[in-house]
Amino acid sequence: MSREALFGAARALAERIVGAPAVAVRADASLGTVIATLGGLLAGVPVVPVPPDSGPLERAHILSDSGAALLVAPGAWTDIGLPTTTVDPAARSAGTLPEPGPDATALILYTSGTTGPPKGVSISHAAIAAGLDGAIEAWDWTADDVLVHGLPLFHVHGLVLGVLGALRTGSRLVHTGRPTPAGYAAAGGSLYFGVPTVWSRIAQDPDSARALAGARLLVSGSAPLPVPVFERVAELTGHRPVERYGMTETLITLSTRADGERRPGSVGWPIAGVRTRLVGEDGSPCAHDGETVGELQVDSPTLFQGYLNRPEATAATLTTDGWFRTGDVAVIDPEGRHRIVGRASTDLIKTGGYRVGAGEVEGALLAHPAVHEAAVIGAPHTDLGQEIVAFVVLAPGAEVSERQLVDHVAAGLSVHKRPRRVLFVADLPRNAMGKVQKKLLTD
């Protein structure tokens, strides 16, 4: 679909929904989702993307909590309690609507926490613009690019970066429906977005991976990219992936650069306009020595407006001087490179008086040829406070003992960072974006 036709269809929808307090969109991987989202943005109406696979309880919570007055493209959903409307890709309007102000809410995205129902994250037009412009600069993204991805359109990665980014640059976009290796290989793009699960599957499909050799840039985000996957993708495609970091509440904040060094495990430097700092448990600044672990805090024009209808939850995420507490722990090296260790709640393990990042132990495990996937948690321990426990998925046909893996980690890292227990499992629980759900492992 041409840009002209897309905006014509979106304007036609915008004229039908202008003035609504918010509109929900059944955000499947379709052109209708793109038209509906753009229509809401043009109308100045907050758009609420709803996962197409959401169950009745989750869907009812999102529709009620968001205050949406209308559901666009309901598909097969029934008994939703809201008026509905469809998207007509053939509709056209050349009319104009007032430009929404920069502080107007553009999107309300729902994120799930470890407890309670999902929270609505309100994101302004200005925040989206700042995040996209920072990514565009970091990745040398231009209108000459062809972006390819197959990511869900109800998350920041697929919708904001992967759709609105293409519209902001004027580049073409090919959405593959699902992020399959064959789909990526056939798309003929210059710029590819994927989550680690996508790149892992591509690394296991050499023919599809080699088809990406003609690309300009491969970008990975939403979760840490395992070092073996990074290295295998680089070997097969000739491209060292760009790794980046962000959250729903902060959009994109950190990235390695198209024209810079790309080290496995590094998510690079702040994009334009973003400031970061590392803070210890006592509130003091952490050294930028590449070893000291601290909570990552962000001050940025990309920050969210707050959690919808939850002022207390919003206030709890902000420091007294207005910085956002990401809840992630990281290290920063002397040159300013950032490496995310994991979530403070699940990935900062306090064992025997030491502070150990789960990501570092996972990386050491993944360096063993018998290990296909690994996830590390801290489990309660009467003597140590927490003990390091590793869940390991073995590579097909591989054999290794628990003792061999413990010794392997102890040989590469400090001895106190070795797992006390290794549990062999068939797979790891993941969410729709490929992130391991460590709460389930802890349980």
Is the pLDDT higher at 431 or at 141?
141
What count of other Cβ atoms lies within 10 Å of the Cβ of residue 259?
8
pLDDT tens for 369-426 read 999 999 999 998 877 888 999 999 999 999 999 999 999 998 888 788 899 999 999 9
Distance from C-alpha of 10 to C-alpha of 131, rounded to nearest angstrom:
23
* DSSP per residue, 32-60: HHHHHHHHHHHHT--EEEE-TT--HHHHH
CATH classification code of 3-100: 3.40.50.980
Band (116; pLDDT cuts 50, 70, 90): low
- Given pLDDT bands bounded at 50, 70 and 90, which one contains residue 112? low
Report how far residue 234's alpha carbon sits from residue 428's, in angstroms, rounded to the nearest whole number: 25
Bridge-partner residues for 422, per DSSP? 390
Between CA 140 and CA 341 the distance in angstroms is 27
Place 25 in a pLDDT band, splitting at 50, 70 and 90. Answer: very high
- Looking at the chain, the domain(s) classified CATH 3.30.300.30 span 352-442
pTM: 0.83
Residue extent(s) of CATH 3.40.50.980 domains in the chain = 3-100
pLDDT tens track for 68-91:
999 998 888 887 889 999 999 999
| Residue 138: band (very low, low, confident or very high) from pLDDT cuts 50, 70, 90 | very high
Does residue 113 carry a pLDDT above 60? no
pLDDT at 115 over 60: no
- Tens-place pLDDT, residues 210-261: 999 999 999 999 878 888 899 999 999 999 999 999 999 999 999 999 999 9
Question: What is d(CA 48, CA 71) in angstroms, rounded to the nearest whole number?
Answer: 9
Number of H helices, E strands in the chain: 14, 23
Cβ–Cβ < 8 Å for 37, 147: no
Range ranked top by mean pLDDT from 149-158, 383-392, 428-437:
149-158
Q: How far apart are the first and last CA of the chain?
A: 47
**pLDDT recorded at residue 50:** 94
- CATH superfamily placement of domain 352-442: ANL, C-terminal domain (3.30.300.30)
pLDDT in tens, 339-373: 998 777 777 787 876 778 788 889 889 989 999 99
Sign for the CA dihedral angle at 312, 23, 59, 220 comes to negative
In this structure, is the dihedral angle defined by the CA atoms of residues 8, 11, 15 and 20, taken in order, positive or negative?
Answer: positive
Q: Is the pLDDT of residue 114 over 50?
A: no
Q: What percent of the chain has pLDDT over 90?
A: 77
Q: Is 279 helix (H, G, I), strand (E, B) or coil?
A: strand
**Dihedrals phi, psi of 94, to nearest 5 degrees:** -105, 10
